[in-house]
């Protein structure tokens, strides 16, 4: 299974850059989690340096990614400058790393192609700790300038678009086709019967165990469904729970 490690920059006592009523650490975390959900829906195993507002040292972020065995590492940041007219998106890789450069270019190209931005600052290199200490292709994206009013609006209001663009860039770099997004539902099915009464018996048993089971008729069968999720991981968690209670649960994508 392909592994991607997402690093939401800053956190906890370190707010990162501040501007236009925004804190960088909040934007980074929100966008990183959104990227992760999109990747998970493509069968990617996602690791995070943080999923809450906590401080993590730079070298620990790299160590976590190395221990996770990530195929690629992507760090999410927002830019800042004392001149508030500075704006746009840029993506960094470690100097001399061709695989890092390819990853950075895939992300940068995807963000520009998404139309969220018109200001393309291009791909760059920098000796950042998280790029230097990670032992897989690594990129650091500066989504926008938190200090610029127009950019801050994008950071505040278009996080879903930014996350989708970054995720598409990562998927492209990994050779995983984008699945069209958001429309797939992961349904947890516990049984399929040709006789309705059998399905009803199972529904009653599930309800007695506290599950909100329903019967869905399709393909001439009475299918017992317990839940439907946008995020595959959530469906898998329910399947495992049901299996531990002796139910023969599977995921059906529809």
| Site residues (vs Zn ion, CB under 5 A) | 9, 16, 77
Burial of 6 (0-12, 13-18, 19+ CB in 10 A): buried
Per-residue burial over 183-208, b if 16 or more Cβ lie within 10 Å, else e, is: eeebbbbbbbbeeeeebeebbeebee
**CA atoms in the 13 A half-sphere facing the CB of 174:** 26
- 74 vs 239 by CB, closer to Zn ion: 74
Judged by DSSP in three states, 94 sits in coil
For residues 168 and 116, the answer to whether their CB atoms sit within 8 Å is: no
- Minimum CB separation from Zn ion for residue 16, in Å? 4
- Minimum CB separation from Zn ion for residue 9, in Å? 4
- Minimum CB separation from Zn ion for residue 77, in Å? 4
Q: Which residues pair with 73 in a beta bridge?
A: 5, 138
**CA atoms in the 13 A half-sphere facing the CB of 180:** 3
- Minimum CB separation from Zn ion for residue 92, in Å? 11
Q: How many helical (H) and strand (E) elements, i.e. helices and strands, does the chain have?
A: 8, 12
- Minimum CB separation from Zn ion for residue 15, in Å? 10
- 9 vs 227 by CB, closer to Zn ion: 9
For residues 18 and 26, the answer to whether their CB atoms sit within 8 Å is: no
- Minimum CB separation from Zn ion for residue 146, in Å? 9
Judged by DSSP in three states, 68 sits in helix
Is residue 233 among the annotated active site residues? Answer: no
- Cα 163 vs. chain centroid, distance in angstroms? 7
Pick the catalytic residue: 57, 142, 197, 233? 142
d(CA 113, CA 76): 18
- 130 vs 249 by CB, closer to Zn ion: 130
- 9 vs 47 by CB, closer to Zn ion: 9
- 16 vs 100 by CB, closer to Zn ion: 16
Q: State which residue has the least CB distance to Zn ion.
A: 77
Per-residue burial over 53-66, b if 16 or more Cβ lie within 10 Å, else e, is: eeebebeebbebbe
State the catalytic residues: 142
């Amino acid at each position: 299974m392909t592994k991607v490690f997402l690093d939401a920059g800053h956190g906890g006592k370190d707010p990162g850059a501040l501007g236009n009523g925004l804190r960088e650490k909040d934007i980074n975390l929100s966008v990183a989690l959104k990227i992760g959900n999109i990747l998970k829906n493509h069968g990617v195993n996602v690791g995070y340096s943080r999923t809450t507002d906590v401080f993590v040292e730079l070298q620990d972020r790299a160590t976590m990614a190395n221990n996770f065995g990530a195929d690629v590492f992507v760090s999410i940041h927002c830019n800042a400058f004392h001149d508030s007219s500075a704006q746009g998106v840029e993506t960094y890789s470690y100097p001399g790393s061709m695989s890092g450069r390819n990853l950075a270019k895939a992300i940068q190209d995807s963000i520009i192609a998404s139309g969220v931005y018109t200001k393309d600052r291009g791909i760059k290199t920098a000796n950042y700790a998280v790029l230097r200490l990670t032992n897989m292709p690594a990129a650091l994206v500066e989504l926008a300038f938190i200090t610029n009013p127009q950019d801050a609006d994008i950071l505040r209001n278009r996080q879903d678009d930014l996350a989708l663009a970054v995720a598409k860039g990562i998927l492209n770099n990994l050779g995983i086709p984008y699945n069209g997004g958001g429309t797939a539902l992961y349904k947890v099915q516990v049984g399929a019967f040709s006789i309705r009464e059998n399905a009803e018996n199972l529904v009653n048993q599930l309800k007695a165990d506290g599950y909100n089971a329903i019967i869905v008729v399709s393909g001439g069968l009475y299918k017992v469904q317990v839940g439907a999720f946008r995020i595959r991981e959530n469906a898998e968690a329910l399947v495992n729970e049901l299996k531990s209670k002796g139910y023969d649960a599977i995921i059906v994508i529809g």
